[in-house]
């Protein structure tokens, strides 16, 4: 557009000064870039991360079994004491994985591989999304840098899962840090 405008100005077709078409095109591009959700980044990556966040926001309690190895070992879920009854684990329908509360009262998610590929990354390249999640420190890789890692899950045993940092639920501005 800028080149066409500059040529039109050079041939006297439009009454613009030299450089006005370039300045105008640059201003339009800058305005478009500022309103674009992904900014200067890849729109597919931004859309995929938004989809993943939405999945955790919508299903964090219902599709992720609470990590309860310590609670069950200590008897915290005993029916003998009504004060603990409210914390009794409930069945997880269509389980996507497990969730664990860290020592800082933040929730981490452990997602089963097929759920990651078919639901969290539905419509996107799961491998590329996983690489970006690792780069943004939203996903913890294994010691070899693979996106999924082996974890001994209570009630499941040793299984490769996608281990999400609690930062996955942070605000969008925090994602580009790190």
Residue with tokens 């452990």: 110
pLDDT at 63 exceeding the cut of 90 = yes
For residues 39 and 31, the answer to whether their CB atoms sit within 8 Å is no
Average model confidence (pLDDT) for the chain? 84
Per-residue pLDDT tens digits for 105-125: 899 999 999 999 999 999 999
How far apart CA 52 and CA 50 sit, in angstroms, is: 5
Q: Is 163 helix (H, G, I), strand (E, B) or coil?
A: strand
How far apart CA 41 and CA 109 sit, in angstroms, is: 26
How far apart CA 22 and CA 16 sit, in angstroms, is: 11
pTM of the model: 0.67
Residue 133 Rama label (left phi>0; alpha psi -120 to 50; beta): alpha
Average pLDDT over residues 1-28: 92
pLDDT at 37 exceeding the cut of 90 = no
Per-residue pLDDT tens digits for 82-106: 444 455 567 889 999 999 998 888 9
Query: Which token pair is 54?
Result: 């939405």
Query: Which token pair is 165?
Result: 């940092």
What was the pLDDT predicted at 81? 43
DSSP 142-158: -TTS-SSEEEEETTTEE
Q: Which residue has the higher pLDDT, 172 or 144?
A: 144
What was the pLDDT predicted at 42? 75
What was the pLDDT predicted at 72? 40
What was the pLDDT predicted at 79? 41
Average pLDDT over residues 24-50: 80
Per-residue pLDDT tens digits for 147-164: 999 999 998 999 999 999
Q: Is 177 helix (H, G, I), strand (E, B) or coil?
A: coil
Per-residue pLDDT tens digits for 135-144: 999 999 999 9
What was the pLDDT predicted at 87? 55
pLDDT band at residue 177 under the 50/70/90 scheme:
very low
CB < 8 Å & 24+ apart, contacts of 56-59? 56/109, 56/164, 56/168, 56/169, 57/169, 59/96
pLDDT at 76 exceeding the cut of 60 = no
């Amino acid at each position: 557009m800028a080149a066409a405008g500059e040529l039109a100005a050079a041939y006297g077709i439009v009454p613009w000064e030299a450089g006005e078409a370039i300045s105008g095109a640059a201003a339009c591009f800058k305005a478009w870039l500022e309103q674009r959700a992904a900014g200067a980044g890849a729109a597919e990556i931004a859309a995929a991360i938004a989809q993943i966040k939405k999945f955790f926001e919508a299903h964090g309690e219902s599709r992720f079994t609470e990590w309860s190895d310590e609670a069950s070992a200590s008897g915290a879920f005993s029916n003998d004491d009504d004060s603990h009854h409210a914390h009794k684990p409930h069945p997880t329908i269509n389980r996507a994985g497990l969730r664990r509360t860290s020592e800082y009262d933040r929730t981490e998610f452990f997602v089963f591989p097929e759920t990651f590929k078919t639901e969290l990354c539905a419509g996107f390249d799961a491998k590329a999304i996983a690489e970006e999640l690792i780069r943004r420190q939203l996903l913890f890789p294994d010691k070899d840098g693979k996106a999924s890692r082996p974890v001994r899950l209570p009630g499941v045993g040793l299984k490769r899962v996608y281990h999400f940092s609690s930062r996955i639920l942070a605000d969008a501005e925090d994602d580009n840090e790190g």
